[in-house]
């Protein structure tokens, strides 16, 4: 194996595994193995996917500790927060991506443009497939450690007619939307287009009032105001319409209520029509049918003709992740692969397999976590928790700390807020610790999970890479004093703790921030802050340069209105 000049992956002539497929092996770099004598014993680390979680690993992992192989159907990392800006040409598609091979250079990892199909956990083999000239070829990739970071797919909620919709998850989706939007403008100005048809072509419907849908609506609105009139003087501004259909009572419902209201007011002012408590029933080729619950509780059915419909209503499991979950008895969650707090895949051999990012979920018992924070408050007051009387202010401090760690817990906390106020508090306006634990039992069985965001995937990737760096030092070859792999995580490293740094959203020449429990919304200054926050997180100097050039180009010459 060692007499080849460079480290590379090759297919072993032998076949094996349960399906008797060819097995890939790592051919070791000659110099390295001679020089350090450790290369042959480096564990094989296989990473599935090259999104936010995986790239955070690759950027944090120390070089030369593992034989790293990344498997992904896309050979680039996509900076998703700016994807809505690329649909209308505010930013160019190229500026949002970074070649994965560039990222892998530092740690001398391998990349396979292929798809993981399945995992044989007992044999430690990933079944991989590649399509070449229409023929699908399968092989096995062996691993010592496997990290699953395959992301998610768009949730269809079982609605019919989604083949007429656009999605916004990949670079190809953004390209299709841009082509379709500009194509519709061109059709709208043809002399053969009737007035009714023109209004339909210029109607943009967004299903889903989360950050992606809202940012897309905002980008469309900006384009209409900044470039449309200049390039298409025959189109009247009031012939163009933007509609958002949201199933909850507010848009941006995971943000603080004040920010949702700000975004709604802003949209109302900008004539972006928002339907709340509304559910899409069917998407037809030219119109969308949905039901809306009115303020007096009646449900009415409505229709909106559209020229472009974006479907952006949350995420669901990829087929690969679903397949893995069915193989593991202990996986009970239908939406994501469950891990423990060390990010180990539940049900897989301990310490061999981790799952991070959108494809995974870590569930926490909210009540237990609240009690831990309450104890902290008691100790800060220099008292035994059992003797402490809690004021509403104490509770708010606790709620603030909980929210920072579990941003998804908002609705439970709001319920507790109300309970705390309604509770029969004594005259001093306090509640004793035991009474409070009773109150908590109301939500005792409520588990909370972490949000499916780039922020979480990034933190999990960094955590895992730091842990793997540490394990490579304390347990080279992944054995220490007879401990098995699975025990190493807990012996040598802490559990993962999520730190919610905040949520941002662009709402059309304005932005909203929900950062560390503080809310902020505003116009152009906030927009620059929003841009800077993401600009700073951009993965390379190359992408920063390209982003800067795109913004400068747009400011000087406007957007390119071409369906390239
Ligand atoms: P992803 O980044 O989705 O990467 C998954 C990777 O797995 C991809 O490379 C994919 O090709 C690969 N893959 C898929 N199947 C397989 C397979 N079978 N085998 C091998 N590889 C596979 N989050 C924020 O925090 N802030 C934002 O502003 C924000 N804006 C967003 C805007 C848009 C338009 C979208 C779509 C998402 C946004 N998100 C945002 C969410 C964020 O992008 C995701 O939470 C994040 O990408 C999850 O990272 P991940 O590593 O789990 O998966």
Q: How confident is the model at residue 523 (pLDDT cuts 50, 70, 90)?
A: confident
Q: How far is CA 178 from the centre of its chain?
A: 22
User: Residue 61 has which token pair?
Assistant: 């992992």
- Is the confidence at residue 535, as pLDDT, over 60? yes
Give the ligand 1 atom nearest the CA of 211.
30
pLDDT digits (tens, 9 = 90+) for 232-260: 888 887 889 999 999 988 898 878 777 88
Determine the distance separating the centroid of ligand 1 and the alpha carbon of 453, expressed in angstroms: 8
Determine the distance separating the centroid of ligand 1 and the alpha carbon of 250, expressed in angstroms: 25
Q: Name the nearest CA neighbour of 169 among 113, 238, 86.
A: 86
Determine the distance separating the centroid of ligand 1 and the alpha carbon of 107, expressed in angstroms: 22
Inter-residue contact 439 to 417 (CB < 8 Å) = no
Domain 162-314 indexed as CATH 1.10.3720.10: no
pLDDT given at position 432: 74
Q: What is the mean pLDDT of residues 175-199?
A: 94
Residue closest by Cα to atom 45 of ligand 1: 453
Q: How far apart are CA 269 and CA 265, in angstroms?
A: 6
User: Residue 226 has which token pair?
Assistant: 């900044």
Determine the distance separating the centroid of ligand 1 and the alpha carbon of 149, expressed in angstroms: 9
Residue found by looking up tokens 């394990």 in the block? 471
Q: How far apart are CA 122 and CA 101, in angstroms?
A: 30
Determine the distance separating the centroid of ligand 1 and the alpha carbon of 548, expressed in angstroms: 23
pLDDT given at position 143: 92
Give the ligand 1 atom nearest the CA of 358.
52
pLDDT given at position 9: 60
Mutate to test the pocket of ligand 1, among 51, 91, 215 (most ligand atoms within 8 A of CB): 51
pLDDT given at position 2: 33
Residue found by looking up tokens 């287009």 in the block? 193
pLDDT given at position 427: 54
Determine the distance separating the centroid of ligand 1 and the alpha carbon of 80, expressed in angstroms: 7
Domain 8-153+316-362+453-492 indexed as CATH 3.40.640.10: no
pLDDT given at position 486: 54
Give the ligand 1 atom nearest the CA of 534.
28
Give 76's strand partners.
99
pLDDT digits (tens, 9 = 90+) for 97-129: 999 999 999 998 999 999 999 999 999 999 999
Mutate to test the pocket of ligand 1, among 90, 131, 149 (most ligand atoms within 8 A of CB): 149
Question: Checking phi first, is residue 314 left (phi over 0); if not, alpha (psi -120 to 50) or beta?
Answer: left
β-bridge pairing 125-132 and 135-142: antiparallel
Q: What is the mean pLDDT of residues 37-58?
A: 84
Q: How far apart are CA 370 and CA 382, in angstroms?
A: 19
Q: How far apart are CA 407 and CA 427, in angstroms?
A: 33
- Is the confidence at residue 337, as pLDDT, over 80? yes
Q: What is the mean pLDDT of residues 161-168?
A: 96
Half-sphere exposure at residue 525, Cβ-oriented, CA atoms within 13 angstroms: 3
Mutate to test the pocket of ligand 1, among 85, 151, 356 (most ligand atoms within 8 A of CB): 151
Q: Name the nearest CA neighbour of 517 among 405, 434, 442.
A: 405
Give 515's strand partners.
518
Q: Cβ contacts of residue 330 below 8 Å, gap of 6+?
A: 338, 346, 347
Residue found by looking up tokens 């391998």 in the block? 110
pLDDT given at position 3: 35
- Is the confidence at residue 168, as pLDDT, over 50? yes
Inter-residue contact 30 to 2 (CB < 8 Å) = yes
Q: Name the nearest CA neighbour of 76 among 51, 107, 109.
A: 51
User: Residue 216 has which token pair?
Assistant: 């897309």
- Is the confidence at residue 556, as pLDDT, over 80? yes
Q: How far apart are CA 26 and CA 44, in angstroms?
A: 8
- Is the confidence at residue 32, as pLDDT, over 70? no
Q: How far apart are CA 496 and CA 343, in angstroms?
A: 7
pLDDT given at position 350: 81
Residue found by looking up tokens 């982003």 in the block? 547
Q: Nearest 5 degrees, angle CA 540-CA 542-CA 543?
A: 70
User: Residue 303 has which token pair?
Assistant: 């229709």
CA distance to 169, 180, 479, per residue, from 177 (Å): 11, 5, 51
Residue 43, classed as helix, strand or coil, is coil
Mutate to test the pocket of ligand 1, among 116, 155, 452, 457 (most ligand atoms within 8 A of CB): 457
Least confident among 165-169, 261-265, 451-455, 489-493? 489-493
pLDDT given at position 447: 64
pLDDT given at position 129: 95
pLDDT given at position 396: 83
Q: How far apart are CA 53 and CA 49, in angstroms?
A: 8
- Is the confidence at residue 478, as pLDDT, over 60? yes
ipTM of predicted assembly, 2 dp: 0.99
pLDDT given at position 56: 97
* Ligand 1 pocket at CB < 6 A: 48-54, 71-74, 80-81, 83-84, 115-116, 149-151, 168-169, 211-212, 318, 320, 357-359, 452-455, 457
Q: How far apart are CA 525 and CA 509, in angstroms?
A: 9
Give the ligand 1 atom nearest the CA of 152.
3
Residue closest by Cα to atom 42 of ligand 1: 454
Q: What is the mean pLDDT of residues 285-308?
A: 93
Determine the distance separating the centroid of ligand 1 and the alpha carbon of 356, expressed in angstroms: 11
Q: How confident is the model at residue 26 (pLDDT cuts 50, 70, 90)?
A: low
pLDDT given at position 13: 60
Length of the chain in terms of residues written: 564
- Is the confidence at residue 6, as pLDDT, over 50? no
pLDDT given at position 95: 94
**pLDDT > 90: percent of the chain:** 47
Mean pLDDT of the chain: 85
Inter-residue contact 513 to 526 (CB < 8 Å) = yes
Query: CB neighbours (10 Å) of residue 8?
Result: 11
CA distance to 275, 304, 309, 380, 517, per residue, from 447 (Å): 30, 38, 35, 27, 21
Determine the distance separating the centroid of ligand 1 and the alpha carbon of 191, expressed in angstroms: 42
Q: How far apart are CA 361 and CA 321, in angstroms?
A: 12
Least confident among 212-221, 300-309, 478-487? 478-487
β-bridge pairing 299-305 and 287-293: antiparallel
Question: Checking phi first, is residue 20 left (phi over 0); if not, alpha (psi -120 to 50) or beta?
Answer: left
Q: Nearest 5 degrees, angle CA 386-CA 389-CA 393?
A: 130
pLDDT digits (tens, 9 = 90+) for 347-403: 998 888 999 999 999 877 788 788 888 888 888 888 777 777 778 888 888 888 887
Q: How far apart are CA 96 and CA 173, in angstroms?
A: 13
């Amino acid at each position: 194996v060692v007499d080849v000049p460079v480290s590379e992956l090759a297919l072993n002539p032998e076949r094996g595994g349960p399906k008797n497929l060819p097995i890939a092996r790592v051919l070791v770099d000659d110099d390295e193995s001679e020089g350090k004598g450790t290369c042959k014993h480096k564990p094989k680390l296989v990473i599935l996917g090259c999104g936010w979680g995986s790239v955070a690993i690759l950027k944090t992992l120390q070089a030369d500790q593992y034989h790293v192989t990344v498997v992904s159907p896309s050979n680039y990392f996509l900076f998703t927060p700016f994807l809505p800006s690329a649909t209308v040409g505010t930013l160019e598609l190229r500026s949002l991506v970074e070649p994965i091979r560039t990222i892998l250079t530092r740690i001398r990892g391998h990349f396979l443009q292929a798809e993981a199909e399945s995992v044989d956990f007992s044999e430690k083999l990933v079944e991989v497939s590649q399509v070449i000239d229409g023929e699908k070829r399968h092989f096995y990739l062996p691993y010592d450690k496997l990290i699953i970071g395959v992301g998610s797919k768009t949730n269809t909620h079982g609605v019919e007619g989604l083949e007429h919709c656009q999605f916004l998850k990949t670079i190809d989706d953004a390209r299709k939307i841009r082509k379709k939007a500009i194509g519709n403008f061109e059709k709208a100005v043809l002399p053969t287009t009737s007035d009714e048809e023109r209004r339909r072509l210029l109607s943009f419907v967004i299903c889903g009032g989360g950050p992606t849908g809202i940012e897309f609506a905002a980008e469309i609105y900006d384009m209409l105001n900044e470039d449309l009139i200049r390039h298409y003087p025959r189109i009247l501004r009031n012939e163009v319409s933007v509609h958002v259909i949201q199933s909850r009572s507010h848009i941006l419902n995971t943000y603080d209520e004040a920010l949702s209201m700000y975004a709604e007011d802003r949209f109302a002012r900008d004539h972006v029509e928002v339907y709340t408590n509304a559910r899409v029933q069917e998407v037809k080729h030219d119109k969308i049918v949905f039901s809306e619950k009115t303020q007096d509780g009646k449900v009415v059915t409505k229709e909106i003709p559209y020229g472009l419909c974006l479907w952006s209503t949350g995420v669901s499991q990829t087929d690969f992740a679903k397949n893995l979950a069915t193989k593991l008895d202990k996986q009970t969650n239908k939406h994501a692969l469950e891990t423990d707090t060390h990010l180990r895949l539940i049900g897989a051999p301990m310490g061999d397999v981790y799952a991070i990012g959108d494809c995974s979920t870590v569930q926490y018992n909210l009540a237990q976590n609240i009690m831990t924070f309450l104890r902290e408050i008691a100790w800060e007051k220099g008292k035994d928790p059992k003797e402490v009387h809690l004021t509403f202010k104490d509770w708010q401090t606790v709620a603030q700390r909980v929210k920072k760690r579990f941003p998804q817990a908002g609705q439970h906390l709001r319920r507790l807020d109300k309970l705390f106020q309604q509770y029969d508090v004594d005259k001093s306006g306090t509640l004793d610790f035991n009474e409070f634990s009773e109150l908590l039992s109301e939500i005792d069985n409520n588990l909370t999970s972490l949000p499916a965001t780039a922020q979480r995937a990034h933190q999990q990737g960094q955590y895992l890479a730091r842990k793997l760096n540490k394990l490579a030092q304390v347990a080279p070859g992944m054995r220490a004093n007879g401990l098995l792999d699975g025990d190493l995580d807990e012996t040598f490293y802490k559990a993962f703790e999520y730190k919610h740094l905040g949520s941002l959203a662009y709402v059309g020449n304005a932005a909203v921030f929900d950062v560390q429990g503080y809310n902020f919304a505003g116009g152009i200054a906030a927009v620059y802050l929003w841009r800077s926050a993401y600009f700073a997180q951009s993965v390379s100097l190359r992408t920063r340069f390209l982003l800067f050039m795109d913004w400068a180009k747009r400011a000087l010459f406007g957007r390119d209105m071409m369906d390239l």
